Structure 1
Amino acid sequence: MSGALDAGARPGPPGPAAPAVPLGDVLRAARRRFSVELSPPHDEAGAARQWEAVRRLERLRPVFASVTYGAGGGDQDGTVELAGRLRDGTGVRPLAHLTAVGQPADALREVLRRLRAAGVGDVLALRGDPHGDPRAPWRPHPGGLQHADQLVRLARAEGAVSVGVAAFPLGHPESPDLDSDTRHLAGKLRAGADFAIAQLCFDVEEFLRLRDRLARTAPDLAGVPVLPGLLPVTSPRVLEVTRRLTGDHEPSWLQRRLAPLLDDRGAFREEGLEVALEAGQRLLAEGEQVLHLYSLNSSGAVERLVGELGLAG
């Protein structure tokens, strides 16, 4: 990993020192690199497969690995455990997802302290979606937080080294329009976030329009990294995952390319990888330097993209 990740000690509970350089600074300095997303595994067999993938991805030197709550929302224990294991057992810098769903502020503070004790100083602050039904009306926990900007401030108050937030190229489902959504993103960044990771979208133009809206809305935030997200659609099952992640937003051009290949597993995989490669090439041509790759806990597609796009550190 980069020398920027060499840690200096920070005040706090005993444990390995968290990296001293904020991820925002690391991302601004990066050139043609990638980050990757992992999720806590469901069982021991899944954990073994995931760790094999982690070892393969480690050799490519991702800028960081974000660690989600897992399928269906999961819980924070798996996030803390996997982030800590990455910190202790690899050269990969973990970024732990932190969500306000179902937790009072005191519980969130305790999670941040546990992460700091494990040497994990970077968090992705997410309001999160209701457990069970992401489209259900949002109701904050009594004594909890209402918005992600509040979670950013709480993480900062608890000594987080870096705080990231989510960006929505298609707009958050609860936003009345894209301009309102962009103002909300600017508010999260001004609350103390170092960077943002864009939710998956297939049309590169949607991400570029988000980038332009943020530049118009908040010129004071020029230079704050916003990472585009890419998920190679390598199977019909993965296509279903992407539909959930994008709120069933599936461009007609993608349907035309993939639908004829549903019965040919190999051809479907190759076409899905080609779609992701084309998007990655366009993003790099538009000046993006770090691409965030959704791995689904497997290394093969990520290795292919990193190799062909020249993103290894």
Structure 2
Amino acid sequence: MSDVIDAERAAPASSPAAGVSPFAELPGDIAVSFEFFPPKTEKMDAQLWDAITQLAPLSPSFVSVTYGAGGSTRERTHATVARIARETDLRPAAHLTCVAASKAEIAEVADQYWQAGVRHIVALRGDPPPADGGTFVPHPEGYASAADLVAGLKAQHDFEISVAAYPEVHPEALSDQHDLDNLKRKLDAGATRAITQFFYSTDAYFRFLDKVLAAGIDAPILPGIMPVTNFAAIRRMSGNTEIPGWLETMFEGLDERPGPRALVAAVAAADLCRRLYEGGVRDFHFYTLNRAEQAYAVCQLLGVRPKEA
């Protein structure tokens, strides 16, 4: 793992002087990346490109674009990624899944990305469409797992590949060990790094890192950070993710007050990142939901500022 965070945890940053903000002394020595999703309408397209324009000056390591269940956004994902590659200096990463596609179809999509100058793929098993009852069934001529997809993509082109990791265990995993073994298979197949599902417990993330290191995995494990845009929605999406009581208290009564909720969300996410920073983390991946304000505010608090020309 680059800048390895060992099981002992890196020494916390020195405490700020009395009366000084806990963010004031952060030197901004971190890397950030951002996730977007492909727009469905012209209005959403404008919102996406406004977010990209606002966040680009922060010089992210890469920006990723998601892929809908069952390949439902395949064309829109490709169009968005290709436009980022064509019109910006950002390094786009295209999500690609195993769902509802043969190996030949996936190879065709991967070739199109390579020809468009895209060199980074986020390889996922993927979520099945609702019509399939929420159960993943491999395409008869497709890949059976994300590890198989990684191996197939690496054999086709020398892509940089990111995969998913689950600090609090994938909901479909048979056990913690089964989930960890699956992560190792993906990395052994040629993946460069893992990006975690969002979480709100730093203890859960660091316990996961301890298990990862004990398993002999040394690839970077980027924490996925999702500011709370809607607490009820976060609760629905959480799956196995722990929602700490203190976080619920912070957002109590704010579901119908988007302005105050956004301010609280930015501070809560920045505090999560600060605590991860104190544990040695220097690389953060933000789930933006195509909105720049909260991710930008968190980066500002962490000392990440636009690079001077």
Q: TM-score, normalised by structure 2?
A: 0.85
Q: Evaluate the alpha carbon distance shift between residue 27 and residue 94 of structure 1 in structure 2; reply closer, same or farther with a 3 A threshold.
A: farther
Q: What's the offset of the Cα at 1:174?
A: 1.3
Q: What's the offset of the Cα at 1:70?
A: 4.5
Of residues 38, 62, 65, the one that matches 2:63 is: 65
Q: Evaluate the alpha carbon distance shift between residue 248 and residue 164 of structure 1 in structure 2; reply closer, same or farther with a 3 A threshold.
A: closer
Contact residue 65 and residue 92 of structure 1 kept, 8 A: yes
Which whole-Å CA distance do the structure 2 matches of 1:49 and 1:276 have between them?
22
Contact residue 70 and residue 99 of structure 2 kept, 8 A: no
Which whole-Å CA distance do the structure 2 matches of 1:27 and 1:119 have between them?
31
Q: What's the offset of the Cα at 1:263?
A: 4.2
Contact residue 165 and residue 194 of structure 2 kept, 8 A: yes
Instruction: Summarize deviations over 1:142-186 as a string: whole Å, max 9, x none.
Output: 111111100000110111330110001111111122122112111
2:195 counterpart SS class: strand
Which whole-Å CA distance do the structure 2 matches of 1:33 and 1:241 have between them?
28
Which whole-Å CA distance do the structure 1 matches of 2:72 and 2:60 have between them?
24
Gaps of 5+ in 2: 6-27
Contact residue 70 and residue 100 of structure 2 kept, 8 A: no
Contact residue 125 and residue 148 of structure 1 kept, 8 A: yes
**Counterpart residue number, 1:226:** 221
**Counterpart residue number, 1:93:** 91
**Counterpart residue number, 2:12:** none
Of residues 79, 82, 85, the one that matches 1:84 is: 82
Q: What's the offset of the Cα at 1:207?
A: 1.3
Percent of pairs with identical residues:
33
Contact residue 122 and residue 160 of structure 1 kept, 8 A: no
**Counterpart residue number, 2:278:** 285
**Counterpart residue number, 2:101:** 103
Q: What's the offset of the Cα at 1:205?
A: 1.4
**Counterpart residue number, 2:249:** 256
Q: What's the offset of the Cα at 1:138?
A: 1.5
The 5-angstrom pairing of residues 189-204 of structure 1 reads 189-204=187-202
Q: What's the offset of the Cα at 1:71?
A: 7.6
Q: Evaluate the alpha carbon distance shift between residue 102 and residue 230 of structure 1 in structure 2; reply closer, same or farther with a 3 A threshold.
A: same
The 5-angstrom pairing of residues 234-249 of structure 1 reads 234=229, 236=230, 239-247=231-239, 249=241
Which whole-Å CA distance do the structure 1 matches of 2:141 and 2:251 have between them?
46
Q: What's the offset of the Cα at 1:26?
A: 12
Instruction: Summarize deviations over 1:22-55 as a string: whole Å, max 9, x none.
Output: xx98999x94020000110011111112112111
* Alignment RMSD (CA, Å): 2.4
**Counterpart residue number, 1:138:** 136
Contact residue 27 and residue 290 of structure 1 kept, 8 A: no
Which whole-Å CA distance do the structure 1 matches of 2:206 and 2:268 have between them?
17
Structure with bigger helix share is: 1
